[in-house]
Amino acid sequence: MVTVAAVQLEAVLADVDANLAACERLATRAGEAGAKIIALPEFFTTGIGFDERLAHTALPVDGAATVLLTSLAARYEAMVGGSFMCADPDGHVRNKYLLAGPDGVIGTHDKDLPTMWENAFYVGGDDDGVIDAGSHTVGAAVCWELMRTQTARRMRERVDLVMAGAGWWSVPQWVPGSVFRRWERDNEATARTAAATFARYVGAPVVHAGHAGALECGMPWMPVRYRGHFEGATLITDADGTVLAERSWRDGEGIVLADLTLGRKQPSLEPPAGFWLHPRGPMATLAWNYQRWHGRRWYRSNVYNAQDRNSVRAS
């Protein structure tokens, strides 16, 4: 048995220094409570929303985010992981999950497909997310990777633990109110279900870190602003998908702890034949498509080919 922790963060959008400080504070709580595996959420350095400031917040792979993860891992003799927007040597930004151990970086995984407005800030990767951590094999899964059959298939019966993190935002409360409230209830349920049932698709425990707190930002190609919140779904499950510890987004920032037995077993769910493990809903389906078209163009103009690439943070 090993004590594991998942962090729920209320990020300050695009404020790298504030978010690194908050993550250190929360991860320190987990380490002092005896956690030997600590998961930080997706975008733990920046938060996420459609905000042009995020175009200038990518960190190098050996920058401040990596220093934080490796220092925490060394201090508590633990594995510590989370994802952040990383400026890779080829000039592209990727949503990189970095797993650190007491002796340094163990491995990395680049999220395969950006979600919705995330297309404006980074490009996808093509690795399988399976990381050799010595005595155990870790699967790294980032947010909507937990929604896709391809993620389940590449990790199925291959990993002893899934370390995951998300920045899952709510459906905005527009009119007609009854319709959008129903879509939001379904969206919140999917956020939890995607994290909680992934163990049953792959046959391994899941440690899932999330965000909480309000979010306000622009909406691509629309004259209205997004106002909503992050869903959270910060939880820990065993290999059967039983939730051992959970923190609702309504509880705000904090940590969850549980004792886990690491190891793989026969999965109890078979991935469906299609692309998605769970239905997305009409609002998410629309945003997935039109924001991908918008975001890829915005990324080329404002991130990859921007004249001020030198403004990417060096530490």
pLDDT in tens, 115-173: 999 999 999 999 999 999 999 999 999 999 999 999 999 999 999 999 999 999 999 99
Ramachandran region, residue 155 (left: φ > 0; alpha: ψ -120 to 50; beta: rest): alpha
Domain boundaries along the sequence of the chain: 2-311
User: Looking at the chain, how many residues does it have?
Assistant: 315
Quote the pLDDT of residue 233: 87
Q: How far is Cα 183 from Cα 237, in angstroms, rounded to an integer? A: 26
User: Tokens at residue 23, please?
Assistant: 């993550």
Residue 186, φ and ψ in degrees, nearest 5:
-65, -40
Across the 315 residues of the chain, what is the mean pLDDT of every consecutive 10-residue run?
97 98 98 98 98 97 98 98 97 98 98 98 98 97 98 98 97 95 95 96 98 97 95 94 97 97 96 95 92 96 68 42
Task: Give tens-digit pLDDT for 205-230.
Answer: 999 999 999 999 999 999 999 999 99
| Burial class for 143, CB neighbours closer than 10 Å (0-12, 13-18, 19+) | buried
CB 138 within 8 A of CB 163: yes
CATH topology of domain 2-311: Nitrilase/N-carbamoyl-D-aminoacid amidohydrolase (3.60.110)
CA 47, CA 294: separation in Å to the nearest integer? 20
Write down the pLDDT at residue 313.
Answer: 42
For tokens 């991908």, the residue is 292
The two structure tokens encoding residue 104: 């340094």
